[in-house]
Amino acid sequence: MGNTGPVRIKIPFTTTELDSWKEAVKDYRDDPEKISKRFELIVKNLDPDWGDIEIMLSALSDTERQMVMKTARTHVQAQVTSGALPGTVEMHVPRVDPEWDYNDDREYKLLKRYQEWIRLGLENAIPKTVNWSRLYTIKQGPGETPSEFLERLRVGMQKFTTMDPASDEGRLQLVALFLGQSTDDIRKKLQKIKEPDIRDLEKLVEEAWRVFRNRENQDRQKLGKTIATATIAAMQEKGRPNMGNRPRMRPPLRQDQCAYCREVGHWKRECPKQKMKPQPIVGNLREDQDSE
């Protein structure tokens, strides 16, 4: 604790964190908004100072870095000019390390604002390229719900075009995309809807959900039939006699083979092993009676 309250402690970057950032910004031009959000997350977790942010910006190409700084300074200039922000552009987006003190409230506020200016710069430095062809590659997946598919179309429209999905023009375009790029069974059903409902996005989504749920019910019924068929087949198989448990038949005897001990060279009545077999007691009693 300091004299005026808790002391802020700077958390240094680890090598792993820096490597992860460098890997992420390779795709900066393709998705500046994604990199901007990643930067925002790092700010929340690590609270980087001016020097840390310089290291992060150095992972960009020279051109990209210049564009980010120019965009950030342009935002500041607009607010300074309008009187909404006191001071100068250099005060808020300095080119050299201002050595802001973490534990000085006024300087710490300047650091927090600087972090936000850089985030805005990262988000807006790259002009959005209109690429309608990318939007037409967004197809509904077999297991994707109508709502999930519509959300992907909205995100794609924001990412690949300058059109606002919430605008009238954007909604009409979403209707066309939703109609044309849904799965086959949903698309065939939607194409049967009459005017003016076919231009109503909410009604299209509602009907798409009906088809989707009906498909799920049919899949469950098919699965139930498959399980039932497999169960019946297993029970029938279980009820059949097991041929493997039957006693195996002995091979036929040779002419000179004993039927009792299975050895070769004598017959059963001459088998020495049979003669060694103990005689029944009943037989002995009869012999004694005869002798009397």
Q: What pLDDT does 276 receive?
A: 62
- Residue 92 falls within a domain, yes or no? yes
Model confidence, pTM: 0.56
Residues 156 and 184 in one domain: yes
Q: What pLDDT does 4 receive?
A: 58
Low-confidence ranges of the chain (pLDDT < 70): 1-5, 216-250, 275-292
Q: What pLDDT does 3 receive?
A: 54
Give pLDDT tens digits for 225-241.
566 566 666 666 665 65
The CB-based long-range contact list for 246-255 (8 Å cut-off, 24+ gap) reads: none
Count of domains observed in the chain: 2
CB-CB neighbours of 169 under 10 Å? 10
Any idea which residue has 């970057």 for tokens? 13
Q: Residue 234 corresponds to which tokens in the numbers above?
A: 């297993």
- Residue 5 falls within a domain, yes or no? no
Residue finishing a domain among 124, 154, 177: 124
Residue finishing a domain among 81, 102, 124: 124
Region of 171 on the Ramachandran plot (φ > 0 left; ψ -120 to 50 alpha; else beta)? alpha
Residues 26 and 110 in one domain: yes
Q: Which domain holds residue 164?
A: 132-218
Q: Is the distance from CB of 51 to CB of 97 less than 8 angstroms?
A: yes
Residue finishing a domain among 218, 239, 256: 218
Residues 101 and 141 in one domain: no
**Nearest alpha carbon to residue 202 among 161, 154, 147:** 147
Q: What pLDDT does 6 receive?
A: 76
The whole-angstrom separation of Cα 42 and Cα 19 is 13
Q: What pLDDT does 237 receive?
A: 66
Q: Residue 290 corresponds to which tokens in the numbers above?
A: 């005869």
205: amino acid identity, one letter: V
- Residue 158 falls within a domain, yes or no? yes
Q: For residue 264, what are the contacts with CB-CB under 8 A and spacing of at least 6?
A: 254, 256, 257, 258
**H or E segment and range at residue 95:** none
